[in-house]
Chains A and B, each alone.
Chain A
Amino acid sequence: MKNSIILTWIIVAAVLLLDISLRIFTGLGRFTPDLLLLALVYATLVRPLGEIYCLAFAAGVCWDVIFLDSLGLHSFLFILAVMFTSRLRQILWAHYAISRLVMGFSICGLVRFGEVIFWLSNLDKDVPVSMPEQYITSGAVISGLVFLFLPLYSKPIRIPRRSPQTVFAERYHHS
């Protein structure tokens, strides 16, 4: 169990670097898929929830520090995204590619919408309306498509309705 927790953290840290490298090397701007967010969504599907909350918080703080955003913004948005995913995984069966597309699209859209709302409320001068619109839609579509093509190696967690609550337990096995 300890090994899998450490492995998850290492993978997410590697994805954080990959995300930043992609932004630096390709210069795609708003079309860059939110790989870090997708890694968190993926981890939410296959790992216990409590662990992912901590991971989302740490990843958000790192993101804010690197991009000089207000500290706490992305940790708040990432935890919300994890909460949203934990609800979605009960409705959508992530083994199907179409479900992953919907998940990626909606979660990335939610996070980018939150970012834009925060940025726009703190701007000293207005930006053209099309910019935030394009930022949200392009990011949501690209991230959705990336998540669609991402193979799901672990089986998604199926939580029994009356299961005891565990924070850092190993993933539930299918009965």
Chain B
Amino acid sequence: MSMLFYSSKRTIAKRKKKFVLLSPKTLGIGLILISLSLLLFWKAEEPKPFSSPITRCLYAPVSAIQSIRNFCTGIVRNIQDSFQAKTKLVEVQKKLEQLQLENQELRYKLRKHDLYREAFELPREEGMPVVTAIVLMRDNRMTQSLIINRGTMDGLDMNMPVLTNEGLLGRTTQKMTLHAAQVQPITDPRSAVGVYIQGTPYEGILRGSEDGSHMLLTDRFFSGPGDETLFPKPGDKVFTSGHGRTFPKDILAGIISDATSEEGQVVDPVAPISAAKAVMVLTQTQLQQETASLLSED
């Protein structure tokens, strides 16, 4: 009898166990399904920009950490500079004299330019519309990229050129929210920029390297007119040719450091990703204008 009673108790316990809805397993599976549905929702259509107080709260400490890092590196650089200051001072003074002379010449040319413009009644050239942004953080997990504090709300779109004071840095990617955007540097192995080499009649494609520290000038071709024997050499400057229409013409992209490599000329970036703190995004390139005109026609 007692055995029967015991067994009936056990069966009730078993039945009760079946009706447990919120177990760790069901919770885990439920959360996995939510994650997958989120993933599918975001991948199903064009990624929709999102912004919320949570996003801003998350970026606040991250940007604080980034600025602390910039501050620390700034201090270290200042200390290093102060040690080298005396030796550099003489060089800088010489450069300053040269630059003053150049400045005078350029001012003279500019005045002449303005006089001609007024004489022929030509319209004044307007500067490219630029959005300035601060680097929030560097994403260096598999490939290197930057995350900046401007997004679609500030007029940014994908494939917009990103510059620093030194020269070309990269372009914006499709990963963009209302107030943040990802920048793919030109040193990324997926990047390809049409360029020409200053002082030579050659053009080519500037590709990022595997380690992301330099670039390679490949597919070089003779664009003429010019002397074919003027091959690129170390120290030559590389400028964008404007062929891909993503990047405007005549932006400094890099300087050739090694011209003997079999893969192509090794080019060092003028704007290294590790040193970038503030950037400029060109919001109206030829590509953007063409896209806008096509959309308006539709």
Q: How far is the CB of A2 from chain B (nearest CB, A)?
A: 18
Residues of B within 8 A of A10 (CB): none
Q: Is the CB of B58 within 8 A of A30?
A: no
Interface status of B54 (Cβ within 8 A of chain A): yes
In the bound complex, how far is the Cα of B39 from the Cα of A76, in angstroms?
Answer: 9
Q: Is the CB of B139 within 8 A of A67?
A: yes
Given the interface pairs A53-B31, A72-B38, the reply to whether A128 lies near B142 with Cβ below 8 Å is no
Given the interface pairs A62-B58, A71-B38, A123-B190, the reply to whether A132 lies near B66 with Cβ below 8 Å is no
Given the interface pairs A66-B58, A70-B42, the reply to whether A76 lies near B27 with Cβ below 8 Å is no
Q: How far is the CB of B244 from chain A (nearest CB, A)?
A: 13
In the bound complex, how far is the Cα of B39 from the Cα of A164, in angstroms?
Answer: 33
Given the interface pairs A82-B28, A127-B190, the reply to whether A17 lies near B65 with Cβ below 8 Å is yes
Residues of A within 8 A of B249 (CB): none
Q: Is the CB of B20 within 8 A of A165?
A: yes
Which of B81-89, B94-102, B174-182, B233-241 lines the interface with chain A? B174-182
In the bound complex, how far is the Cα of B49 from the Cα of A79, in angstroms?
Answer: 25
Interface status of A1 (Cβ within 8 A of chain B): no
Q: Is the CB of B35 within 8 A of A24?
A: no
Interface status of B206 (Cβ within 8 A of chain A): no
Interface status of B288 (Cβ within 8 A of chain A): no
Q: Is the CB of B31 within 8 A of A57?
A: yes
Interface status of A171 (Cβ within 8 A of chain B): no
Interface size class of A (residues with CB under 8 A): 35 or more
Interface status of B144 (Cβ within 8 A of chain A): yes
In the bound complex, how far is the Cα of B190 from the Cα of A132, in angstroms?
Answer: 13
Residues of B within 8 A of A49 (CB): 24, 28
Residues of A within 8 A of B41 (CB): 72
Q: Is the CB of A165 within 8 A of B23?
A: yes
Q: How far is the CB of B11 from chain A (nearest CB, A)?
A: 15
Q: Is the CB of A30 within 8 A of B65?
A: no
Q: Is the CB of B39 within 8 A of A73?
A: yes
Interface status of A60 (Cβ within 8 A of chain B): yes
Interface status of A21 (Cβ within 8 A of chain B): yes
Q: Is the CB of B65 within 8 A of A124?
A: no
Interface status of B15 (Cβ within 8 A of chain A): no
Q: Is the CB of A60 within 8 A of B142?
A: no
Q: What string of 1s and 0s marks CB contacts (under 8 Å) between B3-27 and chain A?
A: 0000000000000010010111101
Interface status of A106 (Cβ within 8 A of chain B): no
Interface status of B189 (Cβ within 8 A of chain A): yes
Interface status of A119 (Cβ within 8 A of chain B): yes
Most buried by B among A21, A66, A122, A128: A66
Interface status of A175 (Cβ within 8 A of chain B): no
Contact of A30 among B61, B62, B141 (CB under 8 A): B141
Given the interface pairs A20-B62, A73-B39, the reply to whether A167 lies near B31 with Cβ below 8 Å is no
Residue of A nearest to B43 (CB): A70
Most buried by A among B24, B55, B58: B24
Residues of A within 8 A of B28 (CB): 49-50, 53, 79, 82-83
Residue of B nearest to A127 (CB): B189
| Those 5 A-B pairs whose CB atoms lie nearest each other, nearest first | A72-B38, A72-B39, A76-B35, A49-B24, A29-B140
8 A–B pairs (Cβ distance < 8 Å), ordered by A = A23-B139, A27-B274, A49-B24, A66-B62, A72-B42, A73-B35, A122-B43, A127-B189
A positions within 8 Å CB-CB of B: 17, 20-21, 23-25, 27-30, 32, 48-50, 53-54, 56-57, 60, 62, 65-73, 75-76, 79-80, 82-83, 115-116, 119, 122-128, 130-132, 135, 164-167
